[in-house]
Amino acid sequence: MPQSSDTPVPLASPDVTETEIQAVVAVLQSDRLSLGPRTVSFEQACARRAGRRHGIAVNSGTSGLHLCVRALELAEGDEVITPSFSFVATTNCLLFERVRPVFVDIDPDSYNMDPAAVAAAVTSRTRAILPVEVFGNTAHFDQYEQLARAHGLAMIEDSCEALGGALGGRSAGGFGQCGVFAFYPNKQITTGEGGMIVTDDDVLADRCRSMRNQGRDSAAWLSHARLGYNYRMSEINAAIGEIQMARLDEILAKRRDVAQRYHRCLGDIAEIHLPPMADPAHASWFVYVIRLNDRFSAADRDRVMEHLAHEGVGCNKYFVPIHHQPYVKPWVGDGVHLPHTERVAARTIALPFFNHLTDAQMRRVKVCLQDALRRVTPRVFTG
């Protein structure tokens, strides 16, 4: 059916087929709704993809990060180096355990933490590095790993935006002690809600497996070896994930195609920077985030977004820096100095991005964006 020119274009849209629906029906017709074969199979698929020996399915990416923090025994008084330019879950998993986040600035060419800034932030209290593949970009992950080794630090890879991505032949989720994926509906693959820890470390894997299931030890159902949580993933969610994982390469190829079409479509707009991506041939695109150039203010960006929203074009600020959130301030004080994070975060706009985005929808996004830019273009006075 042809789309009229004012049909809204959503920011994200999950790609779920009849195969996922049939897999869910099959689970519901079985007598195993939690901790069954679908979960095991989904765990194995994610571990294999990350080049890891263990996969531990949980009910969200945030839960996965929290269990990694607990399993590594990070605690009050410890410092963890992490970006403020990320989704809040990256920091929340530390605050749950009263671990102090130490925010370092980004490299403005990749939007990931600047490795030099990471090195400069190490103190005697630093216990770990918690880097994020921002928007799916794997840049610098080999360097973070080297830094962690050199300083005797743990590394948790927040790969919640990078499932299936790679850097120099190594997979996202394969750097550091452990990696975490997430399956909320706007991610590359979805289970509705869900997350996955991947690791080669047997002890860490056992602890996470136990803590997601009320601290049970593996032997007896009512024997609780430690304080745990109910962070289990249901068989229903795992069945969706299993099919989505089998489709991952097809999904990533579609997303690379949409990103390339966006590059071509928007490449002639002088006012914007296109999104950076390391290793484009193996890229795992999470979102497509453009950035207005430095002549625009944060208020200009907000007005561009208002116009897009008014025209029915989905958009969002990726990200509001984590240190701007009121509940985070007491942990870091007012002295945070992250000039690149501030400059970039004030000017980014996530555009509609999903597997089946059509050329017509993309053209509509471009027309609305150009309209919006004309309305707010800063006056340049010469002579």
Q: List residues binding ligand PLP (CB under 6 A).
A: 60-62, 86-87, 89-90, 132, 158, 160-161, 182, 184, 195
DSSP 167: E
CB neighbours of residue 44 within 10 Å? 14
| CA nearest neighbour of 152 among 218, 225, 82, 72 | 72
CB of 338 to ligand PLP, least distance (A): 17
Q: With H, G, I as helix, E, B as strand and everything else as coil, classify residue 135.
A: helix
Q: Which helix (H) or strand (E) holds 342?
A: helix 339-345
Q: Which helix (H) or strand (E) holds 182?
A: strand 178-182
CB of 16 to ligand PLP, least distance (A): 17
CB of 85 to ligand PLP, least distance (A): 10
**Residue 84 near residue 333 (C-beta atoms within 8 A):** no
Q: With respect to ligand PLP, which residue has the nearer C-beta, 287 or 362?
A: 287
Q: How many angstroms separate the CA atoms of 67 and 289, rounded?
A: 30
- In sequence order, what DSSP letters do the residues of 74-101 get, joined into one string? --TT-EEEEESSS-THHHHHHHTTTPEE
CB of 216 to ligand PLP, least distance (A): 23
Q: Is the dihedral of CA 330, 334, 335, 338 positive or negative?
A: positive
Q: With respect to ligand PLP, which residue has the nearer C-beta, 296 or 319?
A: 319
CB of 76 to ligand PLP, least distance (A): 22
Q: With respect to ligand PLP, which residue has the nearer C-beta, 46 or 369?
A: 46
Q: With respect to ligand PLP, which residue has the nearer C-beta, 164 or 195?
A: 195
CB of 268 to ligand PLP, least distance (A): 30
CB of 269 to ligand PLP, least distance (A): 26
Q: With respect to ligand PLP, which residue has the nearer C-beta, 60 or 234?
A: 60
Q: With respect to ligand PLP, which residue has the nearer C-beta, 15 or 271?
A: 15
Output the CA–CA distances (angstroms, integers) from residue 163 to 48, 123, 188, in the order listed. Answer: 12, 31, 7
Q: With respect to ligand PLP, which residue has the nearer C-beta, 86 or 112?
A: 86
Surface-to-core class of residue 66, CB atoms within 10 Å of its CB (0-12 exposed, 13-18 middle, 19+ buried): buried
Q: Which two tokens stand for residue 114?
A: 């600047």
Buried b (16+ CB within 10 A) or exposed e, 178-199: bbbbbbbebbbbbbbbbbbbbb
CB of 60 to ligand PLP, least distance (A): 4
**Residue 201, beta-bridge partner list:** none
- Tell me which residue has its CB nearest to ligand PLP: 61
**Residue 34, beta-bridge partner list:** 234
CB neighbours of residue 218 within 10 Å? 10
Q: With respect to ligand PLP, which residue has the nearer C-beta, 296 or 352?
A: 352
Q: How many angstroms separate the CA atoms of 93 and 64, rounded?
A: 9
Q: With respect to ligand PLP, which residue has the nearer C-beta, 38 or 187?
A: 187
CB of 134 to ligand PLP, least distance (A): 7
Q: How many angstroms separate the CA atoms of 163 and 146, rounded?
A: 22
